[in-house]
Amino acid sequence: MLTKEDLIQSETRKELVEISKSKGLKLKNILRRTQYEEELLLLQTELAFLQQHVEKNNLRIAILFEGRDAAGKGGSIKRFVEHLNPHTSGVVALTKPTDIERGQWYFQRYIEVLPNRGEIKFFDRSWYNRAVVEPVMGFCTREQYQTFMAQVTHFEHMLHEDGIKIIKFWFDISKEEQKKRFDDRKNNPLKAWKFSPVDMKAQDMWDENTQYKEKMFANSHTAFCPWVIVNTNNKHTARLESLRYVLAQFDYEDKGKTGADLLTDPNVVFNYFRKSKSLNL
């Protein structure tokens, strides 16, 4: 195993390889990890360029991260915001509504946290809670669900017409990979806090979640606000490809200056209309 001292001493990849060889470590895994870290840093630098463009031009961007439990939404958001200016970016992760909020129009509390001019907001789950999680778990009535489905595209069209750029990610994971990650959470004291009672039901209610998810896609995928599917069975690849997708949506000063690969892999990230080609959806 590489120590902190090994990493400090390794100023280049070649030096890291030599140290790894001397310790009899598997170079393939180490090289894959170092390549991921290098690519991530380049893409994060590009994202910082994009943020400067957003600030300068008073753009408003809302990026929604949806998906099944353990699909990697939080980990990806962390990599997005890691090096951004916190004054013009932020993560939205609303808790369950208060008694007052339950008496309001469903979208009202989300309107209050939409991006202002020059801001990028990252939503760790969003108003689409009502499309899948709430009906499956019995957290909303049938009437509330139907009202949401009838209103959501109109709501997003109003935001679109007002100039807010919305990117809707669905982080897709297989049932087998989800179970593997749940087991890892339960057995790791550092990750145990991530495992909730809702997670315990996710595997048992897989098919019901799938049915509501498909209804959500069919009713809320639009030309002005499409669903973008990200295959997340490989966490590292999903993080890199979701970053690339966002960067590809904008022209900004110094774009490509880092030399980062900005072309997305269509086998990992693609629009909903290609869903039939994904086995995990």
Stretch 36-54: mean pLDDT: 97
Strand order in the sheet with 164-172: 89-92, 119-124, 60-67, 164-172, 227-231, 269-271
Note every long-range contact of 93-102, with CB atoms under 8 Å and residues 24 or more positions apart, other chains counting: 93/123, 93/124, 93/125, 94/125
Rounded to whole angstroms, the Cα distance separating 141 from 247 reads: 38
**% pLDDT > 90, the chain:** 77
Instruction: Tell me the CATH number at 105.
Output: 3.40.50.300
Name the band, by pLDDT with cuts 50, 70 and 90, for residue 2: low
113-160 per-position pLDDT tens digit? 999 999 999 999 999 999 999 999 999 999 999 999 999 999 999 999
For the chain, the domain total comes to 1
Better pLDDT: 38 or 277? 38
**What was the pLDDT predicted at 85?**
97
**What was the pLDDT predicted at 25?**
65
The structure tokens listed for 22 are: 């001397």
Answer whether residue 56 shows pLDDT above 60: yes
pTM of the predicted model as reported, rounded to 2 decimal places: 0.87
**% pLDDT > 70, the chain:** 89
Answer whether residue 275 shows pLDDT above 50: no
Answer whether residue 43 shows pLDDT above 50: yes
Please, what is the average pLDDT of the chain? 91
211-230 per-position pLDDT tens digit? 999 999 999 999 999 999 99
Q: Which of 19-28, 190-199, 226-235, 247-256 has the lowest mean pLDDT?
A: 19-28
Cβ neighbours, 10 Å, residue 144: 15
Q: Which of 30-44, 96-110, 190-204 has the lowest mean pLDDT?
A: 190-204
Residue 98's domain comprises 4-277
Which helix (H) or strand (E) segment is 11 a member of?
none
| φ, ψ of residue 9 in degrees (nearest 5) | -75, -25
Stretch 65-73: mean pLDDT: 96
Distance from CA of residue 189 to its chain's centroid? 24
Question: Counting beta carbons within 10 angstroms of the beta carbon of residue 268, is it exposed (0 to 12), middle (13 to 18) or buried (19 or more)?
Answer: buried
**What was the pLDDT predicted at 15?**
72
Name the band, by pLDDT with cuts 50, 70 and 90, for residue 278: very low
**What was the pLDDT predicted at 281?**
47
**What was the pLDDT predicted at 185?**
85
